[in-house]
Amino acid sequence: MVRMPLSPPSSRRALKHTRAIQIEAYARDDGLWDIEAHLTDVKTRDAKLASGVRPAGQPMHDLRLRLTIDRKLTIVGAEAVSDAVPYPGYCDTIGPDYRKLVGLNLLKGFRNEVKMRLSGTQGCTHLTELAQVLPTAAIQAFAGEVIDTRDGAAAGAQEQTEKPFQLDRCHALRTDGAAVAKYYPRWVATPAPAKKTG
């Protein structure tokens, strides 16, 4: 694998804040999936808030969101909790509102629906942002497990009648591109012949 690190910083710098996001996907015994997201914000200095001082190293935010989805990526359950927040007793009361996500499908207008239902004062900015990254995380979890991602050379691929899910969903895997020609040759798009004029 070729690594392409960021260029070295052009100036000395000091770490002030770390936001960490972790997402885990679990296949459940009942056929459903839990997609769990965890967000933390931690400062390297004491933070003076209207609600008091948050000591350096203690999370400013420690938030969790779980979506339970079926194999068609429809949300059948949603739960949000806030273990650390800047304004205890206020920020941490919004969790039940994230049940508004039940019934949405992660692939069908999900991000717009999240904004309509939970943006601004209707939700927690950070939980709502966290929800926005879950569609692609769920797709990654489903790849090869629920969604067929076999390439054109894989065993049994000749019987495959549907284009693999991931094609034409990103720059690298566009069907008129070199990656698809190399790894998914059966699905490469050939340019239409030029029309003759004259």
Statement: the pTM of the whole predicted model exceeds 0.85: no
Between CA 83 and CA 126 the distance in angstroms is 13
CB 180 within 8 Å of CB 173: yes
Q: What is the pLDDT of residues 131-171, one digit of tens each?
A: 999 999 999 999 888 887 766 555 455 566 778 878 888 88
Segment (H or E) for 114: helix 110-118
| DSSP per-residue string spanning 29-57 | TTS-EEEEEEEEEEESS-EEETTEEE-TT
**pLDDT number for residue 145:** 84
pLDDT digits (tens, 9 = 90+) for 67-95: 999 999 999 999 999 999 999 999 999 99
Q: Is 90 helix (H, G, I), strand (E, B) or coil?
A: coil
Q: Which residues pair with 105 in a beta bridge?
A: 74
| Dihedrals phi, psi of 47, to nearest 5 degrees | -110, 125
